[in-house]
Amino acid sequence: MNGVGSDAMILVYDAKAKEVKAINAAGWAPNLATIEWYNENNNGVIPANDGLLSATVPAVVDAWCTMLDEWGTMRLEEVLQPALKIAEKGFPISESLANQLNSSQKLRKYPTSKALYFPNGKTSWKAGDILTNPQLAKTFRTLIAAEQKANPGKGKGPKHDKGKVGHSAGLKAARDAFYKGDIAKKFAKFSEENGGLFRYEDFAEFSVKIEDPVKLNYKGYDVWTNASATQTPTTLFWLNLLKGYDLPALKHNSVDYLHLLIESAKLAYADREAYLADQDFVDIPYDVLLSDEYAAERRKLIDFDKAMGLGTPGQIGDSTGEVDGNEDAYPDYDLHEGDTSYLCVVDKDRNMVSFMPSLHSSFGCGVVMADTGIIFNCRGDYFSLDEDHPNSLQPHKRPRVTLAPVLLTKGDAPFMVLGSPGGDDQPQRVTQCILNVVDFGMNVQDAIEAPRFSTRAFPSSTFPHSARPYDARFESAIPQETVDALAAKGHRTGRGTFGAQCTIMVDPSTNVLNAGADPRCDAYAIGK
pLDDT digits (tens, 9 = 90+) for 232-274: 999 999 999 999 999 999 999 999 999 999 999 999 999 999 9
Query: Going by C-beta distance under 8 Å and a sequence separation of 6 or more, which residues neighbour residue 152?
Result: none
Asked whether residue 123 is assigned to any structural domain, the reply reads yes
Q: Is 451 exposed, middle or buried (0-12, 13-18, 19+ CB in 10 A)?
A: middle
156 domain-assigned: yes
Cβ-contact 63, 424 below 8 angstroms: no
Question: How would you classify the pairing of strands 406-410 and 492-495?
Answer: unpaired
Residue 382 lies in a domain: no
341, amino acid identity: S
The reported pLDDT for the residue numbered 324 is: 57
Q: Is residue 415 part of a domain?
A: no
Q: Which amino acid is at 133?
A: N
What are the Cα distances from residue 364, in Å, to 113, 307, 357, 368? Answer: 11, 36, 12, 10
- The verdict on residue 64 lying in a domain is yes
Instruction: Kindly state whether residue 513 falls inside one of the protein's structural domains.
Output: no
- Domains of the chain: total: 1
| Residue 61 belongs to domain spanning | 28-208
Q: Is residue 74 part of a domain?
A: yes
With a cut of 70, list the residues of the chain below it in pLDDT.
154-163, 319-339
103 lies in some domain: yes
444-491 pLDDT per residue, tens: 999 999 999 999 999 998 888 889 999 999 999 999 999 999 999 999
Percent helix / strand / coil, the chain, rounded to 5? 35, 15, 45
How confident is the model at residue 332, as a pLDDT? 43
Q: DSSP per residue over 262-298, as a string?
A: HHHHHHHHHHHHHH-S-TTTS---HHHHTSHHHHHHH
Whole-prediction pTM: 0.94
Q: Tell me the β-bridge partners of 384.
A: 392
